[in-house]
């Protein structure tokens, strides 16, 4: 009995909150994300009608764009050209890569190179993950990127871009995950907070699949 009373109270409270939220949201005008009309009236805005009274709540006109072919400029990208882990003596050239015929990321064969997934965000992007992947080894032995196997959180990573800028990142997480359970959508996310993702292989070599069983992913945030 006591319990059902509490339940009733909780439901009542929730319903009250819901009603308030709905009520308020129905009364309040829509938030306008665009610049305030007073500050920057669009040149094409129609003159305010003098006969309209009282003034209706100002709703921001929906954004629009020229749909003509060629009107959609693609944002220029300052591509990465090198990645370094100075404290570990790693310095790799970076080349833009896409996907292989089998749908996997095309990682450069040269162990002195890391591939930047060029369809996703670049280092320094406003949002999303820049993915750099390099081989952990060649048929001759370990490769420079093998340092990721035991890199420590806090290690600094530098990315040099084509314009000559150096972006500094710090590793905040290192994960070793089985390839079957890899959260690929998250690793390659093109939205959300910007991160650098350094990826290589780890775990046991599966001679049948001709691949390692795991990937190591070091996630780094921009610090300068």
Among 55, 70, 89, 154, binds other proteins (CB under 8 A): 70
Q: Which is nearer to other proteins, 149 or 168 (CB)?
A: 149
Would you state the structure tokens that stand for residue 178, as one six-digit string? 């089985």
Instruction: Pick the stretch among 13-21, 88-96, 155-163, 167-175 that binds other proteins (CB under 8 A).
Output: 13-21
Residues 150 and 165: their CA atoms lie apart, in Å, by 28
Q: Which residues of 115-145 are buried (b: 16+ CB within 10 A; e: fewer)?
A: bbbbebbbbbbeebbbbbbbbbbeeeeebbb
Binding mask 16-55 for other proteins (x = CB under 8 A): --xx-xx--xx---x-------------x-x---------
Among 35, 58, 87, 119, binds other proteins (CB under 8 A): 119
Instruction: Pick the stretch among 59-67, 86-94, 155-163, 165-173 that binds other proteins (CB under 8 A).
Output: 59-67
Could you say whether residue 72 binds other proteins (CB under 8 A)? yes
Computed on alpha carbons and rounded to an integer, the radius of gyration of the chain in Å comes to: 26
Residues 181 and 95: their CA atoms lie apart, in Å, by 27
Among 50, 53, 139, 154, binds other proteins (CB under 8 A): 139
Contacting other proteins within 183-222 (CB under 8 A): 184-185, 187-188, 190, 199-202, 205, 207-208, 210-212, 215
Residues 131 and 195: their CA atoms lie apart, in Å, by 9
- Smallest CA-to-CA distance from 220 within 194, 200, 201, 190 is with 194
CB of 83 to other proteins, least distance (A): 14
- Sign of the CA dihedral with 191 first, then 194, 198, and 202 last: negative
Instruction: Pick the stretch among 12-20, 83-91, 151-159, 162-170 that binds other proteins (CB under 8 A).
Output: 12-20
Residues 213 and 179: their CA atoms lie apart, in Å, by 6
Q: Which is nearer to other proteins, 50 or 67 (CB)?
A: 67
């Amino acid at each position: 009995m006591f319990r059902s009373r509490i339940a009733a109270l909780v439901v009542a409270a929730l319903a009250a909150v819901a009603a308030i939220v709905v009520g308020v949201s129905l009364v309040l005008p829509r938030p306008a994300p665009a610049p305030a009309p007073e500050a920057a009236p669009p040149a094409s805005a129609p003159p305010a009608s003098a006969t309209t009274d009282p003034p209706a709540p100002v709703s921001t006109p929906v954004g629009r764009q020229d749909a003509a072919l060629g009107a959609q400029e693609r944002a220029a990208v300052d591509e990465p050209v090198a990645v370094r882990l100075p404290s570990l003596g790693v310095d790799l050239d970076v080349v833009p890569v896409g996907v292989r015929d089998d749908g996997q990321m095309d990682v450069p064969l040269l162990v002195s190179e890391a591939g930047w997934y060029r369809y996703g965000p670049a280092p320094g992007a406003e949002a999303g993950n820049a993915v750099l992947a390099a081989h952990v080894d060649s048929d001759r032995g370990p490769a420079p990127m093998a340092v990721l196997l035991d890199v420590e959180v806090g290690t600094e990573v530098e990315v040099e871009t084509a314009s000559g800028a150096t972006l500094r990142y710090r590793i905040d997480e290192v994960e070793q995950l089985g390839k079957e359970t890899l959260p690929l959508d998250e690793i390659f996310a093109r939205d959300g907070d910007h991160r650098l993702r350094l990826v290589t292989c780890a775990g046991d070599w599966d001679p049948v699949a001709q691949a390692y069983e795991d990937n190591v992913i070091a996630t780094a945030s921009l610090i300068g």
